[in-house]
Amino acid sequence: MHLRLSEGFVLAKFNIGESYAGSLPIGPSTAASANNLWFWFFPSTNPVAKKEIVIWLSGGPGCSSLSGVFQESGPFIWQPGTYKPIPNPYSWNKLTNVIYVDQPVGTGFSKGNITVRDETDVVNHFMGFWKNFVDTFSIQGYKIYLTGESYAGQYVPYISSAMLDTGNKTYFNVSGIYISDPILNYLETSREVPPKLPGCDLWGQVIVATYYANPCFNVSHLTDYCPYLWSELGYPSLGGGPNNYFDRPDVQKTIHAPRSNFWVCEYEPNIFEGRLDGDKSLPSALGPLPSVIDRTQNVIIAHGLLDFTIFADGTLITIQNMTWGGLQGFRTSLSPTLNFYVPTNPNINTILGLIANPMPYPPPQYNTAGQGRQGVTHTERGLTFVTVNLAGHFIAQYTPGAAYRHLEFLSGRISSLEEVGPYTTG
């Protein structure tokens, strides 16, 4: 399970630090089970991060959390359009301990019998896995911060609420959650409303019209343009293509993954027990999410303003119709001026090795990381909403500095997202 990678990972010829990867069962460790969840755990060398851990869950449903490792917040990243992996100056494990988990069963390298029908099953499977993980790594009593994006707007609140329900701080000490560009409310129009005619599907009509103007239009990031960027993951870059890297036998052996054909995102019926209609659980905004806000007083909802998959205004409407802390919605207006501050990373040249090895073109962080006033943030009754100007659907990919700042606030390293000052780590 231990990865000794001091001499570098496959095609990544630099030290990515201590890490552990493998699979653990979703039930009692003594029970025979065909169902396991695969994980990759990156301990932190930050002395402040002694008794805490961040859990990352990708969305989909059915998307592997390796997308988070590989193109967002892991210690090495391989962004679309780049030649090979590079060190990530904004790796979350510089701040704290981080684990990435493929879940539910059927996602990524998590193999077994597909039995999940709804979020209740998702919760039960994950909590069984998590108890085994806590025992394996002896991290009883650690503060837990659950994070994720997109469909994790369902996963994270449901799992967090169930963990809090146990009252068991030895295994389930949830201390806050962070969800970016999340699904929070109904994915379909109310069933009482008759089906709309094709011409009334405004979102679809806008996309069709936009493709005429920009054949490479990306609903996940509005400013993308041709040509398509090749991606080792095949996603979220629109170029698609094979998942060559994580299909390699040497890579799968190194990360203790089952030998299999890897897909970064699975087809939904392959996740929810063959259901073509998918997960029928109530939206998290109608119960689990406000419950977690009330009990942790530490919830962040972030939204990239270049996302055309899920709109920031739609997320705000959901918040305004949600009741927590005994009141409905935010009671005061958001700031009319930009007040979310993202620092400069003074060590980016050193981390990327650009001083010794100048590159003809700057890496993605220079183009899209952003610094200074990057959005609007607002906090009431334990809920923080924050926008990020340059981000699309995947905040940590397009604006890694902003996502790192969000994590600093979630973990209590800074007192406010309006705080002006350097990152708390080098």
d(CA 302, CA 354): 31
Instruction: Judge contact between 281 and 119, C-beta under 8 A.
Output: yes
Contact between residue 287 and residue 185 where contact means Cβ atoms under 8 Å apart: no
Per the annotation, the verdict on 221 as an active-site residue is no
Instruction: Considering the candidates 160, 161, 307, 378, report the single residue annotated as catalytic.
Output: 307
In whole angstroms, give the CA distance from residue 136 to residue 367: 41
Between the alpha carbon of residue 405 and those of residues 167, 238, 267, the distances in Å are 29, 28, 33
201 annotated active-site: no
Strand ranges (DSSP E) for 31-73? 36-42, 52-57
| Closest-CA residue to 296 (of 163, 414, 200, 423) | 163
Structure tokens at 197: 């005619």
The token duo for 154 is 């369902």
For the residues of 261-300, what is the DSSP string, one character each? ---SB--GGGTTTT-TT---SPPGGGTHHHHHHHHHS-EE
Q: Where are the beta strands (DSSP E) in 153-298?
A: 174-180
Which are the contacts of 248, defined by CB distance < 8 A and separation ≥ 6?
A: 10
Catalytic hit among 221, 303, 378, 393: 393
3-state SS class at 301: strand
Look at residues 292, 330, 286, 121 and name the one whose alpha carbon lies nearest to residue 187.
Answer: 286
Torsion, Cα of 292, 298, 299, 305 (10° steps):
170
Q: Which of 150, 161, 220, 281 is flagged as catalytic?
A: 150
Please give the Cα distance from 91 to 77 (Å, whole number).
9
Based on the residue annotation, tell me whether 150 is a catalytic residue of this protein: yes
Q: Which residues are catalytic?
A: 150, 307, 393
